[in-house]
């Protein structure tokens, strides 16, 4: 059974810092991996999709990496801003379409 873990559960940093969020999964037989952002009480916003054949994917200040063999992914956020405050969720595709989620990292950027 696939399990996805995100560490830390919560993180608070001052504005302007670069930071890394971690995601690990137990079964390396995944298709792709997707990172999401969730604002309180809202739906999920897709940030990045990394295909299983890729090692990195970038979008603006975000960079996600994937190491299938070690069962790890990281989301790097450069020059953090207060607007980046949200919960960040990592999810792996178990099978063609089913996503298995971690519990998320609650990020707070302090002005």
Partner 1 sequence: DAGVTQSPTHLIKTRGQQVTLRCSPKSGHDTVSWYQQALGQGPQFIFQYYEEEERQRGNFPDRFSGHQFPNYSSELNVNALLLGDSALYLCASSFPGRVADTQYFGPGTRLTVL
Q: Is 40 in the site for partner 1 (CB under 8 A)?
A: no
Closest CA to 34 of 4, 1, 77: 4
Q: Is 104 in the site for partner 1 (CB under 8 A)?
A: yes
| C-alpha distance from residue 53 to each of 56, 57, 65, 71 (Å) | 9, 11, 11, 14
Q: In this structure, are strands 105-110 and 10-14 parallel, antiparallel, or unpaired? A: parallel
Q: Is 99 in the site for partner 1 (CB under 8 A)?
A: yes
Pick the piece of the chain touching partner 1 (CB under 8 A) from 13-21, 33-41, 53-61, 76-84: 33-41
Binding site for partner 1 (CB under 8 A): 4, 31-32, 34, 36, 41-46, 49, 51-52, 89, 91, 93, 95-104
């Amino acid at each position: 059974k696939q399990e996805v873990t995100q560490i830390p559960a919560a993180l608070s940093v001052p504005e302007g810092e670069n930071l890394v969020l971690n995601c690990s999964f137990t079964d390396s037989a995944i298709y792709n991996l997707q990172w999401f952002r969730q604002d309180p009480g809202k739906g999920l916003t897709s940030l990045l999709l990394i295909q299983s054949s890729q090692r990195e994917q970038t979008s603006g200040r975000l960079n996600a990496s994937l190491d299938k063999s070690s069962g790890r992914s990281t989301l790097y956020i450069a020059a953090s801003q207060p607007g980046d405050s949200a919960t960040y969720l990592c999810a792996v595709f178990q099978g063609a379409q089913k996503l298995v989620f971690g519990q998320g990292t609650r990020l707070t950027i302090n002005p």
